[in-house]
A and B are shown apart, each in its own frame.
Chain A
Amino acid sequence: MAEDIIKLIKENVVLGRVNRDDEGIDEGMLGQPGVSELTEKALALGVSPVDIINNGLTAGMEIVGQKFEAKEYFIPDMLASAEAVGVAMEILNPHLAKSGIKDKGKIVVATVKGDIHDIGKNIVSILLRGAGYMVTDIGNNVDPQAIVDAVRDEKPQFLGLSALLTSTMVHMADTMQALRENGLRDKVKVIIGGAPVSEEFAKSIGADGYGADGFQAVRIVESLASAEDK
Chain B
Amino acid sequence: MPREGILVHTPYERMTNEQVLQVHQASIQILNEPGLISFNREATEIFHSNGAEVASVSSSDNPCWLVKIPEELVLHALDSAPKTVKLGARNKDNSLVMNGEEPRVFFVSGSETNIWLDVDFQPYVKKSDPNIEVMVPEFHPRRGTVLDLCQAAHLCEHLETLDAFIRPVNIQDKDITEDNKDVNKFFASLNNTTKHVMAGLTSLKQLDNVVNMAKLIAGGGEELKENPIISFITCLVKSPLQFVEDTTQTLIEICRRGLPIVVSSSPQAGTTAPIKEGGIMAQINAEVLAGVTLSQLVSKGTPVLYGSVPVRARLDNLSDSYGAPESSQYNIDCVQMARFYKLPCYSTAGVCDTKTPGMQTSVERLFSDILVTLSGPQYLHCAYGLLDGNSTFCLLQAVLDDAHFQMIKFFLRPPRVSQAEIDDTLKQIREVVATPQKLYIRYIRPMLRSGQLSMPYPFEGDGETDNVLALAYERMKQLLSQPVEHIDPATTSRVFQEIPGILSRLNVYEERKEQ
**How far apart sit A123 and B270, CA to CA, in the bound complex (Å)?**
13
B209-267 contacts to A, CB under 8 A, are 238, 244-246
Interface-located stretch among B83-91, B315-323, B406-414, B472-480: B315-323
**How far apart sit A120 and B318, CA to CA, in the bound complex (Å)?**
8
Q: How far is the CB of A166 from chain B (nearest CB, A)?
A: 6
A139 CB within 8 Å of chain B: yes
Q: How far is the CB of A79 from chain B (nearest CB, A)?
A: 8
B423 CB within 8 Å of chain A: no
Whether the pair A74, B315 counts as a contact (CB closer than 8 A) is: yes
Please name all residues of chain B whose beta carbon is closer than 8 Å to the beta carbon of A123 when the two chains form the complex.
318
Please list 20 pairs of residues, one from A and one from B, whose beta carbons are closer than 8 Å in the complex, sorted by A's number: A75-B316, A76-B270, A76-B318, A114-B246, A116-B244, A119-B268, A119-B318, A123-B318, A139-B62, A141-B245, A166-B114, A166-B170, A166-B172, A167-B178, A167-B181, A167-B202, A195-B114, A195-B391, A196-B114, A213-B317
A25 CB within 8 Å of chain B: no
Q: Which residue in chain A gives the minimum CB-CB distance to B389? A: A195
B272 CB within 8 Å of chain A: yes
Whether the pair B315, A76 counts as a contact (CB closer than 8 A) is: yes
Given the known A-B contacts A119-B268, A119-B271, are A146 and B315 also in contact in the complex, defined by CB atoms under 8 Å? no
Q: Which residue in chain B gives the minimum CB-CB distance to A214? A: B317
B61 CB within 8 Å of chain A: yes
Whether the pair B315, A75 counts as a contact (CB closer than 8 A) is: yes
**How far apart sit A196 and B391, CA to CA, in the bound complex (Å)?**
9
Q: Give 5 new A-B contacts, CB below 8 A, not counting A167-B178, A167-B202, A213-B317.
A: A74-B315, A75-B314, A75-B317, A119-B272, A195-B391
**How far apart sit A213 and B319, CA to CA, in the bound complex (Å)?**
11
A99-121 contacts to B, CB under 8 A, are 114, 116, 119
**How far apart sit A146 and B202, CA to CA, in the bound complex (Å)?**
23
Interface residues of A (CB under 8 A from B): 74-76, 114, 116, 119, 123, 139, 141, 146, 166-167, 195-196, 213
Q: Which residue in chain B gives the minimum CB-CB distance to A120? A: B318
B105-132 contacts to A, CB under 8 A, are 114
Q: How far is the CB of B426 from chain A (nearest CB, A)?
A: 58
**How far apart sit A76 and B24, CA to CA, in the bound complex (Å)?**
30
**How far apart sit A229 and B429, CA to CA, in the bound complex (Å)?**
89
Please name all residues of chain A whose beta carbon is closer than 8 Å to the beta carbon of B317 when the two chains form the complex.
75, 213
Given the known A-B contacts A116-B238, A119-B272, A166-B114, are A75 and B318 also in contact in the complex, defined by CB atoms under 8 Å? yes
**How far apart sit A139 and B268, CA to CA, in the bound complex (Å)?**
19
Please name all residues of chain B whose beta carbon is closer than 8 Å to the beta carbon of A195 when the two chains form the complex.
114, 391
Please name all residues of chain A whose beta carbon is closer than 8 Å to the beta carbon of B178 when the two chains form the complex.
167
Please name all residues of chain A whose beta carbon is closer than 8 Å to the beta carbon of B318 when the two chains form the complex.
75-76, 119, 123
Q: Which residue in chain B gives the minimum CB-CB distance to A215? A: B317
Which of these, A74, A139, A141, contacts B316 with CB under 8 Å?
A74
Q: How far is the CB of B38 from chain A (nearest CB, A)?
A: 13
Q: How far is the CB of B122 from chain A (nearest CB, A)?
A: 27
The 9 closest A-B pairs by CB, nearest first: A74-B315, A75-B318, A116-B244, A167-B178, A119-B271, A196-B114, A166-B172, A116-B238, A75-B316
Please name all residues of chain B whose beta carbon is closer than 8 Å to the beta carbon of A167 when the two chains form the complex.
178, 181, 202
Please name all residues of chain B whose beta carbon is closer than 8 Å to the beta carbon of A75 when the two chains form the complex.
314-318
What 1/0 flags go to B354-395 for Cβ under 8 Å of A?
000000000000000000000000000000000000010000
Q: How far is the CB of A153 from chain B (nearest CB, A)?
A: 13
What 1/0 flags go to B301-331 for Cβ under 8 Å of A?
0000000000001111110000000000000
Q: How far is the CB of A145 from chain B (nearest CB, A)?
A: 10
Please name all residues of chain A whose beta carbon is closer than 8 Å to the beta carbon of B172 when the two chains form the complex.
166
**How far apart sit A129 and B314, CA to CA, in the bound complex (Å)?**
22
Q: How far is the CB of B177 from chain A (nearest CB, A)?
A: 9
**How far apart sit A114 and B270, CA to CA, in the bound complex (Å)?**
25
Q: How far is the CB of A154 from chain B (nearest CB, A)?
A: 15
Please name all residues of chain A whose beta carbon is closer than 8 Å to the beta carbon of B245 when the two chains form the complex.
141
Please name all residues of chain B whose beta carbon is closer than 8 Å to the beta carbon of A76 when the two chains form the complex.
270, 313, 315, 318
Please name all residues of chain A whose beta carbon is closer than 8 Å to the beta carbon of B315 when the two chains form the complex.
74-76
**How far apart sit A167 and B179, CA to CA, in the bound complex (Å)?**
11
**How far apart sit A123 and B62, CA to CA, in the bound complex (Å)?**
22
**How far apart sit A202 and B270, CA to CA, in the bound complex (Å)?**
31
Q: How far is the CB of A23 from chain B (nearest CB, A)?
A: 14
Q: How far is the CB of A127 from chain B (nearest CB, A)?
A: 11
**How far apart sit A123 and B238, CA to CA, in the bound complex (Å)?**
17
Q: How far is the CB of A215 from chain B (nearest CB, A)?
A: 10
Q: How far is the CB of B276 from chain A (nearest CB, A)?
A: 14
Please name all residues of chain A whose beta carbon is closer than 8 Å to the beta carbon of B272 when the two chains form the complex.
119
Q: Which residue in chain A gives the minimum CB-CB distance to B316? A: A75
Q: How far is the CB of A111 from chain B (nearest CB, A)?
A: 12
**How far apart sit A141 and B59, CA to CA, in the bound complex (Å)?**
14
What 1/0 flags go to B183-205 for Cβ under 8 Å of A?
00000000000000000001000
Please name all residues of chain B whose beta carbon is closer than 8 Å to the beta carbon of A114 when the two chains form the complex.
246
Please name all residues of chain A whose beta carbon is closer than 8 Å to the beta carbon of B314 when the two chains form the complex.
75
Please name all residues of chain A whose beta carbon is closer than 8 Å to the beta carbon of B391 when the two chains form the complex.
195
**How far apart sit A190 and B238, CA to CA, in the bound complex (Å)?**
28
Q: How far is the CB of A131 from chain B (nearest CB, A)?
A: 18
**How far apart sit A139 and B114, CA to CA, in the bound complex (Å)?**
25
Q: How far is the CB of A63 from chain B (nearest CB, A)?
A: 19
